[in-house]
Structure 1
């Protein structure tokens, strides 16, 4: 990482290092570079990446897997942060002259991407606002004061970052993850970093909630966030207590990391922040307001938080949808799933009363009502009441339903084949 002092003059303080033996650890490499080059702030040494022809399987419990380490590891390499850009440039030049020799082997050094317009290189002093050891829950509001949890993050080690530089929010944590191998029955358990990332402009609303022990916010997203992982079984040597920018270690896009599909099914994130982060919390709220994100002040009523009925149970299908419901046509069910996946109405609001209303009215009324609900930008808190109100309004305005031709914007798909490709 680094910064830029002009359009074509990059200031980079991080290098990537390779070429050393397997018995070299982060402390040895850091001490050698400090002696030969300059002050090292952090050295992250990696010997592991995603095993070839393997993929993470989030629905398998790591405790049920026999741990094994017989997969092929990568050549050891490291990401090194120097205190100054001069040290990084000197290391690159010295390695080019074969002057950096560790354990009898010349070190290979690179500065990473050479694009002067890379966002991460233009950062000067806008460090992300970091909230350490937060509690994260993903779920949905069944009513104004009733929050149903579909997934709960680890109890410790979860960080929430608000990056004012590129307008992103990130939830970071580490977990052991089961990897399955293609065409093989064996599995491996690998420690991984995870990142859930979304843009501030993708936040519909931020609501502060009353709580005695924490600063609690509800983030309602307009769409599902991006999810990434990378292996984290690293040897790290860090000499400073303050936060540094992320390493150039590549993140890999992945699917929903929750076994219950909570990221796909819900769009509301409940984040509990420790009171000691109050100053940063105020800065974050100011940034959100400047970014035109609606921030609702805390109300006096406390939020009820409870687990969903099948909390933690793996989904039987990779894609959640309501396929059959007695007496309801395909067109109506298609739109029911549309408002569900857009996050306007969550599955726990689709009660028997909700479907009874759909059964009571003709298809035309239901289609028009659900299309109207689909146009909403924010979730509704009382789905039954909202649907009933719109159906009644349409029933009194039947002339609005007259169409000169049959709509062709809804089709039934009998089969869908998704072919995975490598990026």
Structure 2
């Protein structure tokens, strides 16, 4: 009898231990499953899918389904009566068809309105050209994203939408410089750094550049400036979609699109800057818009603006500084810059007088809200007047080969305007080159 009771007690203890073990294992397994489920469901993309049941593109170039066209970006733009949205795109000019704008309105999508298509008049004969598409937002729609449909009843969930920008209106900058495209593994590192540092001293707040391809050395410099916040680099992989041209005239260079989409990126940059910058400078990386009677761009525009209150685009005359001629003393030829690829702008002080009897190029300082469409050297559509700034007030310094053949130094004008900035410019350039690892260690110790 005592033996039976002992066996029952042992069995009960064993069953109790097994029960406790089972409960603990169930709790552990439940915790692990709960944690895994939480981890899987937490990322933002899942939430975005719930809000926007359509594909969303954050790329700088997005193919438009059922067409030969490309979408670049969309902006709020209510300057023209009857329209709310301007889409900037790259369209094949011989394949324009009726389109309809389709909107994401909160969790609702596929609300459509007819689209108006405006191909820019400057396309230089290339098959593809910069194109604006204007549309109206449907009533009671807080539109966040938009796409284009060839058929208004098409299934919008099969199309890719792009975000609508400039919904927030807040000016943060006085001056933004828009530099169209870097391509061909661009490697002019020294001039790039010098130019950006000159612009910083002139009062520029932000530089925007569209990058197709550049050298590893310049890429390091771009990353350094981007981390600092002074430079905004927009990836521009145009070669993945079209055959870009290396020149500006189709009959000379061929290809699908002029100069890697230069006209598209300039217009995109104007709209990108429209609600955040008071002025935009449109020029290339080897050019500097330089005041000659003012210490900086702020003082320049504070003088010009009251004199010409209705002007929306200030034209700055190009003045070429031929790269073949060097300042003879070579006082700014520093050993620490010798291994940095590129042109040293301080060594070129000889300026070529423009030939005004032939077509002469200008670049621009624009009020972005006064511009509807721009080309490289002129405005195509505008809301304000134009004004050519006298060259003794402001001119464009352009380092390149001369356009009037080889001229002797005696036939050129000495212009040392860049030297006025040397005291701050040189240490600032040293600093950014050092930060990007461009100056050798032994030279850094001498700074």
Q: What's the TM-score, normalizing by structure 2?
A: 0.29
Higher RCO structure, 1 or 2 (CA under 8 Å, sep 6+): 1
